[in-house]
Amino acid sequence: FTVGSIAAFASAPNIVTATVLVTDAQLRTLGTAPVEILPAVAGYTYQILGLSTVTKNTGGAGDDYDWGTQSAVFSWRTTAPLTSEHRVEIPYTALPDGGFSIIGGVQVGTPTAGNFRVNAALKLGVTSSTNPIITGTPSATWKINVTYRLIETS
């Protein structure tokens, strides 16, 4: 591929990048209340082409969201098992910690091939469907950048 052909592909009208900000309140309940990243579109399914996250931790020393060993998952389905779903997973070591550090920083996720339900939203959840354990008063926001294509299914 030439640089020009790659640039033309990136600006194709059917390929879109959306940015969503996940709030501190949403992070605290992510296990039991998945966050809608992109709404369902009747007659279409999402193809995730790429996804990146940027963490902004604003808590203090000793403040923490403890995610255990559950990863974040971006897909139409946010509950286990996630064996055949088209998805992006972000490992627990890169999730916002809400403390003084910048653990997590920028993370780039690679899509996993699989099925995606027609007429379904793209959601963010965690693999064990468990809210983080809160220590102190953590605070963070999580910026999600998702590049996708809508595929007509009818």
Q: How confident is the model at residue 14 (pLDDT cuts 50, 70, 90)?
A: confident
Q: Who contacts 25 (Cβ-Cβ below 8 Å, separation ≥6)? A: none
Q: Which pLDDT belongs to residue 37?
A: 96
- Beta-carbon neighbour count of residue 153 at 10 Å? 13
Q: Which pLDDT belongs to residue 84?
A: 83
Percent of the chain beyond pLDDT 90? 60
Q: Which pLDDT belongs to residue 110?
A: 87
Q: How confident is the model at residue 103 (pLDDT cuts 50, 70, 90)?
A: low
Who wins on pLDDT, 83 or 91? 91
Which of 95, 140, 152, 149 lies closest to 122 in space, CA to CA?
149
Is residue 148's pLDDT more than 80? Answer: yes
Q: What is the arithmetic mean of pLDDT over 82-106?
A: 82
Q: Which pLDDT belongs to residue 126?
A: 94
Q: How confident is the model at residue 9 (pLDDT cuts 50, 70, 90)?
A: low
The letter for the amino acid at 144 is: I
Copy the structure tokens of residue 7.
């640039």
At CA 64, angle to CA 74 and CA 147, rounded to 5?
Answer: 20
Q: Which pLDDT belongs to residue 85?
A: 86
